[in-house]
Amino acid sequence: MRREALMVLAFGIVLTIAATALAHERAQQHDRQRLADRAERLGDALRDELGRPLEVLRAVPSFFAANDGVPSRAAFGVFVRDALARHQGIAALEWVPFVRDADRDALGLAITEQASDGTMQPRARDALYAPLLYAEPPDGIAFGYDLMSEPVRRASVLQARELGQPVGSRRLRLVEDPEGVFSLAVYLAVYEGGARPDAIANREARALGLAIALFRLRPLLEPLVAPVVREHVELALIDPDAPEDLRVLYETAPGVASDVTSFSREVEIPFAERSFRLVARPGAGFGGARTDTLVVLVVGLVLSVLLAWGASGIARVRALEDEVRSARRLGRYVLERKLGEGGTGVVYLAKHAMMKRPTAIKILRGADRERAARFEREVQMASRLVHPNTVQVWDYGRTPSGELYYAMEHVDGLPLDLVVREEGALPPGRVVRIVRAIAEALDEAHALGIVHRDVKPANAMIAVRAGTPDAVKVLDFGLGKMLGAELTDGAAFSHEGTMIGTPVYMAPEQISAPDRIDARADLYAVGALAYHLLTGTPPFVGETPLAVATMQLRAEVEPPSQRLGRALPAELEALVMRLLEKDRARRIASARALIEAIDALGGVVPFGDDAARAWWASRGEALRAKMVAEQAAGGGAVDVDVERRVA
């Protein structure tokens, strides 16, 4: 009997060791996949973020062409300052002309080079110079400095002139930056007439000079990597083709770039004509070990059975969707399908032809002068908004037939009106979370003097972005108004008799005195939106827009809890009713004050990331797939040319 007991014990020990080894291997695979997912998502975000400033640089040749050559320093400064304000990662934009030796004295600027002691001295005579002429922000010490005086920069300058494409530098450190903070310079040749000559031999003769963008990496990268770092992932961005002492561009911890293990994950990041590499590795606290032997054994056995069952022949087949129409091309953008249609135009899902970045393209069709002016104003206003809760505008242009369009950030999410239509009333905690995010976006717009005028569930979306569920995006500033501006649509109705705005969410003063509205009209709309989310219905419902507008002016709002038929948190209901005051003097005064009031609310059960993530897993992704299928059913595509315009 003793021998049988030992054999059973031995078998049990072997089985336990085998199960523990299997569970450990599966845990490692899970952690590897988790690390790979974080790295790939961050890589996508980095490609997008690094591509936006390059779009600014690529706009410089068109700007020069519109000015019939090299613009004045003042005009260059106006163009550049707007770009710097919208893209915080750009440290400076500069203009460097090509100057031949025969024209050196007529330049009116002392051309210099750096002496061995670091001071500036007159440049020795040469056949060609590339002196710094314009810089924003201005750099008085560097004006006149000849890039051709340095062998490394000279090679980059000549390469940029020959290629006619952005050429990136090795890393460099600005004088004002601390140790370990690096920057990059990107050179782009500008030719006579704006377009790059096809023949390489003609590029040298027609090159006017170089536009240079200086990128400061840490401000550009830290907002993107912060969520991943909080999950105990260590990151580095390296230039693999650079000399060893110049390879590291950014690290969240010392040694990440050099200490690459089999567990590390690497993702290629294209930049200009180069390719960087994002390295991700697990830090302390990433993953976890399983110590309960019984749990390890059960999990190991279950996983073994599931894997064997899966390997025995159960196959998964995914249906591939056929392309029924070729994509429509607008300049650099390829339109894939129609996303929707609103009061100011048609919106398509597109991709940048070279960068493959998902983009939303809005086209205004059949516009009269009033609608065209409103559309252009929408672009100008929206391009000033940079809050992460606001959809970003990237590009602007016209088709040959004169139709206006602009390219903006694509939000792969769900509009709130669809969510309420499918789900009904939302939990109070989730409503508070969404309304606070909308208020943050409006706070920035109001600070710039912009009133949205059409805040409603259809103009706010929720999505999963950078791992964060229920991230909110406010869109469509197509009815936006600059406070104090003289606008053609300062009335409740357009020239055609169409009501401007959505009556269900319009403040009373927006109907009765639209030329005297202020930011509090948006706050009323936020209150109507919150009411809709809490109850599943808007505050007022009528047979016609005019009937609803009359209710907005005269009828009292039914409390949300009475409409819903059950109690709501008292402080939340009081806040919504205060936002819906017909006398705007009795409403909350500003979006910032609304945020503070929300933060002070009591009695509301929070709707956290875990609850939001569970909803997206169980319902959100299915709703999004259904919406995408419905949009794809109405898509179409033809090729059109575009005449680009820089706003």
Catalytic residue ranges: 454
d(CA 281, CA 332): 36
Region for residue 526 given its phi and psi (left: phi exceeds 0; alpha: psi -120 to 50; beta: otherwise) = alpha
* Nearest Cα to Cα of residue 406 among 364, 366, 374: 364
**How does DSSP assign 66-77, residue by residue?**
HTTSSPPHHHHH
Q: Are strands 450-451 and 414-415 parallel, antiparallel or unpaired?
A: unpaired
In contact, 210 and 190? CB cutoff 8 Å: yes
Percent of residues in the chain assigned helix, strand, coil, to nearest 5: 45, 20, 35
Half-sphere exposure (Cβ direction) of 332: Cα atoms closer than 13 Å: 18
Q: Which amino acid is at 236?
A: A
Question: Does the annotation list 582 as a binding residue?
Answer: no
Cβ neighbors of 598 (< 8 A, separation 6 or more) are 432, 435, 436, 439, 575
For 311, the token pair is 């390997």
In the sheet with 134-136, reading across from the earlier edge strand, the strands are 134-136, 90-97, 207-216, 183-191, 167-168
For 552, the token pair is 């907005």
d(CA 450, CA 380): 11
> Cis omega before residue 71 (within 30°)?
no
> Cis omega before residue 538 (within 30°)?
no
- The residue with tokens 């650079």 is 242
d(CA 449, CA 465): 28
CB atoms within 10 A of CB 254: 12
Residue 334 β-bridge partners: 329, 351
Element containing residue 274 per DSSP (H, E): strand 274-282
* Residue 323 DSSP one-character state: P
Three-state DSSP class for 216?
Answer: strand
Q: Which amino acid is at 72?
A: S
d(CA 626, CA 620): 10
d(CA 237, CA 442): 35
In contact, 177 and 159? CB cutoff 8 Å: no
Residue 195 vs residues 63, 96, 100, 159: alpha-carbon distances, Å: 11, 18, 22, 17
Element containing residue 468 per DSSP (H, E): strand 468-474
Cβ neighbors of 580 (< 8 A, separation 6 or more) are 524, 527, 528, 531, 539, 557
d(CA 264, CA 32): 8
d(CA 174, CA 480): 40
* Nearest Cα to Cα of residue 189 among 64, 49, 354: 64
Q: Which amino acid is at 426?
A: L
Cβ neighbors of 7 (< 8 A, separation 6 or more) are none
d(CA 286, CA 230): 10
- The residue with tokens 């309420």 is 420
**Residues placed in the known binding site for ATP:** 362
Q: From the annotation, which residues make up the binding site? A: 362
